Amino acid sequence: MADTSIVRAYIKGVDQAPRKTSLVASLVRGRTVADAIVILNHTPKRAARPVLKAIESAQANAVNNHGFDGKTLVIKTLSVTTGARMKRFKPASRGRALPYQKKSSNILVEVVGELKPKKAPAKAAEAKATEAPAKAAPKAAAKKPAEKPAKKEEKK
């Protein structure tokens, strides 16, 4: 792994308790991205979907924005932290209100991998690139705007 760096994806406000989401995250922590996607597609838990989306987002960031090879990506960090808590009340008997909190999670995924090797430009493409500007100048001078055909007079 000569050229390695870290690429992140961060999902905030997942409407699931961090304790439940963390159980699913522990299934794929430290695995390759391809293995993690297969595991999460077959995990029958509601928390599997947001964890899968976070991993796919990190994979897309690495491949499209940073030029990584998608086959070499490995999950370096997968952490689930507590998000904002919304305080709510449940009506109870005799006019009471029982408080509870709606918990949310934040998911951080960091992937690591190798950069794609950059392709050397082909010699034929270089030759065309150098000849193209030289050929383009005479053609531009030779082109003249097309003249409009003369109108025919109509007899009344």
The tens digit of pLDDT for each residue in 60-82 reads 999 999 999 999 999 999 999 99
pLDDT at 71: 92
Domain boundaries, the chain: 4-114
110-132 pLDDT tens trace: 999 999 888 777 776 666 666 66
The pTM assigned to this predicted structure is: 0.73
Using pLDDT thresholds of 50, 70 and 90, give the confidence band for residue 1. Answer: very low
* pLDDT at position 140 over 60: no
Percent of the chain scored above 90 by pLDDT? Answer: 69
The domain 4-114 having CATH identifier 2.60.320.10: the answer here is no
Cα distance between residue 141 and residue 152, in whole Å: 31
Q: How far apart are CA 82 and CA 105, in angstroms?
A: 5
Site of tokens 């082109």: 143
Structure confidence by residue, pLDDT tens digits, 30-63: 999 999 999 999 999 999 999 999 999 999 999 9
Whole-angstrom distance, CA of residue 124 vs CA of residue 114:
29
pLDDT beyond 80 at 105: yes
